[in-house]
Each structure stands twice: as C-alpha cells, then as structure tokens.
Amino acid sequence: MSWILFAIGAMWLAEGLLGLFAPEKVRGILSEYFNTYSVRSISIILFILGGFLIVSAHASRIPLIIVIFGSIVMMKGVGVLFLPFRWVDGLLKWWLKAPDLWYRAWAVFVLFLGCFLLIVRK
C-alpha cells in the first residue's frame, strides 16, 4: 500500500509544481474538465482518493494523520455531491476567475502535502 501513498504524493507534487510555475495552465485544465464533465463528477474522484488514503494509512509512519487527510478529502467529496448546485457552481466560477497568486498559494500547499506523503510513507 506504500505505492498508493507514493502515487498520490507524486500526483500532488506534480500538481503543486504545475500550479506554482504555470497557474494559467492549471486554470485551463480545470476549465476544460468542468466544461466536459459534470461538476459532481469531482465528488466521486475525491471520495475514491480519500478512501485510498485511508486504506493505505497503515503504510505510513504516522497513519493517524493520513487517516485524517483521507477523511477530509472524502468529506469534501460528499460536500461537493450534496451541497446545493448553485453553491458548488459559484465556488467553481470564483476559483476559475481567481488571480494567479491564489493558484500559486494553493500550489504551495499542495506541494507541501505531496512532499509530506512521499516523506512519511514506509
């Protein structure tokens, strides 16, 4: 299960680097995704990702923190699914119009999480 933590950590690391150095590219990718797929489809992805984190928590040096991360990601997926559509759509539109500084700030956080997962896996 350590490979799951590695895969998610590497994905978040790549996402963080892309957001840090090319926020306009991230905005384009998100815009294209949400123009192609339903906003609600992200809830399934988040729920599965959170489940993977929880299942692979025992393969880390601090499983409680990984379970907490996984639970937060799963709750985010449930929230996207059950919140009123206008709220989710409004938040998405706000995020797609956010300045590059916001994308870069979020990218630093995601970069930190990716590095964290790569470091704490056994």
pLDDT one digit per residue (tens) for the chain, 122 residues: 899 999 999 999 999 999 999 999 999 999 999 888 888 888 999 999 999 999 999 999 999 999 999 999 999 999 999 999 899 889 999 999 999 999 999 999 999 999 999 999 99
Q: Reduced to 3 states, what is the DSSP secondary structure of residue 121?
A: strand
Could you list the residue range(s) of the whole structural domain that residue 77 is in? 2-120
Per-residue pLDDT, 9 = 96
Per-residue pLDDT, 100 = 95
Helix, strand, coil in percent for the chain, rounding step 5: 85, 0, 10
Amino acid, res. 18: L
Cβ contact 73:46 at 8 Å: yes
In the numeric block, which tokens belong to residue 14?
A: 């790549």
Number of structural domains found in the chain: 1
Per-residue pLDDT, 1 = 85
In the 3-class helix/strand/coil scheme, how is 55-112 assigned residue by residue?
A: HCHHHECCHHHHHHHHHHHHHHHHHHHHCCHHHHHHHHHHHHHCCHHHHHHHHHHHHH
Beta bridge partners of 50: none
pTM confidence score: 0.89
